A and B are shown apart, each in its own frame.
Chain A
Amino acid sequence: MQVKEYKPLIVAFCCNWCSYAGADLAGNNRLSYPADVKIIRVPCSCRVNPMFVLRAFQRGADGVIICGCHPGDCHYTSGNYYTRRRMALLFSMLDYLGIERDRTRLEWVSAAEGAKFAATMNDFVEKVTALGENKRLEDLRCKK
């Protein structure tokens, strides 16, 4: 019998000014990271409403990662500082509700850090793969 290999679906919200470019650089340098990472480009990490994270899980994501410019480098000066507080509280709340903490992450990746981008994604995918399918924040109506 053939067992289908489990591949998690990862949603990565990437800031246009840094991490999205970082992802591009990773591609240009032929650094590999799993194809199951679906990148959504946002104008700034601060654009990510906590609802987006919940929605991603609802629609079938197994892990959600948000990538933005390093603190101090935000294109809009302070957006990522707000992101940092917001996501710290959101992730902690999800953990409090019993949702595995390795399913969420926030990372700072600059446009020059193609290697960091690939390494981060590889590591994140590995952690989420270990957890398996997202069962605790799934919406069965959205399952194919």
Chain B
Amino acid sequence: MQKITRDQLIEKAASLLGNGTVSCVLGWEKGEFDYDVTPALFETESELREKFVFGDFCGANLSKYLVSKTRKCEGRILVFLKPCDTYSFNQLLTEHRFDREKAYVVGIPCEGMADIERVKELCGDGISSVTADGDELVVTTLYDDEPVRVKAESVLAERCVNCKSKKHVAYDELIGEDGEVLSSARFDEVARLEAMTPDERFAFWQNELSKCIRCNACRNVCPACTCERCVFDNPSSGVENKAAANSFEEKMFHIIRAFHVAGRCTDCGECSRVCPQNIPLHLLNRKFIKDIDDFYGEYQAGAEVGSRAPLVNYTFDDLEPGEVFERGGQDA
């Protein structure tokens, strides 16, 4: 259950639209169901009142939309950003993807977002509505007469269970109180994989990656993937938009995707959220983050604007690739 309400956000947006501070608003609108909320651009107060939503399914990180919207929209854009979204915002600024002056950031607190897959595990399919009530979600399905109640805490998205920060690293204005950077257990699962034998790891990834249907949703949603021309759209790259022909292509796609954002990925978790096949893409990104932290010192992409990404940086006495394995930890 979120502490701030839809109405609070609408009031804020309406007043900023009204006094001319901003000319449009990036927010969320309801999709076909309560739980498939999608990002949307609003230009008038009446549009906001009609369609704007805010709740436990507003996981979508709006920062990436600034890249295209700031080019189209005259004037400033109000964007609502949760703490984790502000890291992506900073990262995009670091990479000069849009003009800071064109964005008006309203930081909003976040109590953690729900994962519809977890709701389905508990309530089954055919969900017709999900509404928040205190610290519970009330779920109605097509097959049950009585609505089912689940604790919001029990259906939190993985990335929110392992939230890295409740602190906004960028904003023009805050609604509610700011939180703290958290110490989370987000690398535990990576460590568990590292402790497996190579055969087990190979089987694990073979199984996960073979589910990929190459919809490219993970790339499209990623705020670190904003190249105007992407290798995955290039027919001569051998990894263009099509279903992978075999397991080599699957691995190739996933290694490239994760490598291209290595050192720039803020661990916002959007890629895993949108994957229709529920592939744990965050375990690939976090492997790079964990390695970078271990080898070159802790680095959080987007924590500040202008920091130098680890892959375009070096020291004279960096670890040799051979030493990586000598350091042990992982089973040979």
Contact = CB atoms under 8 A, between A and B. Distances in A.
Interface stretch (A8-16, A25-33, A36-44, A92-100): A92-100
Interface of B: 193-194, 198-206, 245-246, 248-249, 251-252, 255-256, 258-259, 262, 284, 287-288, 291-292, 295-296, 310-316, 318-322, 324-325, 330, 332
A47 interface: no
Given A97-B205, A141-B246, A84 B321 contact: yes
Size range of the chain A interface in the assembly: 35 or more
Nearest to B205: A97
19 contacts: A50-B255, A54-B252, A78-B314, A81-B316, A81-B318, A89-B288, A89-B292, A89-B311, A90-B255, A92-B324, A93-B258, A95-B198, A96-B193, A96-B287, A98-B203, A98-B205, A99-B202, A105-B322, A141-B245
Contacts, number: 107
Contacts of A140: 246, 248
Interface of A: 50-51, 54, 58, 71-72, 78, 81-82, 84-101, 104-106, 136-141
Given A84-B320, A98-B199, A106-B320, A93 B248 contact: no
A84 B295 CA distance: 11
A72 B316 contact: yes
B178 to A, nearest CB: 33
Contacts of B287: 92-93, 96
A54 B291 CA distance: 20
A21 B130 CA distance: 68
The 5 A-B residue pairs with the shortest CB-CB distance, nearest first, are A98-B202, A81-B314, A98-B201, A139-B248, A88-B321
B291 A85 contact: no
Contacts of A136: 202
A106 B319 CA distance: 12
B259 A93 contact: yes
Contacts of A51: 256
A73 to B, nearest CB: 12
Contact of B288 (A93, A104, A106, A138): A93
Contacts of A90: 255, 259
A89 B264 CA distance: 14
A106 B259 contact: no
Given A97-B202, A106-B321, A85 B296 contact: yes
B200 A98 contact: yes
A141 B248 CA distance: 10
Contacts of A96: 193-194, 201, 287
B254 to A, nearest CB: 8
Contacts of A89: 259, 262, 288, 291-292, 295, 311
A87 B322 CA distance: 10
Contacts of A139: 246, 248-249
B288 A88 contact: no
Nearest to A96: B287
B290 to A, nearest CB: 9
Contacts of B202: 97-99, 136
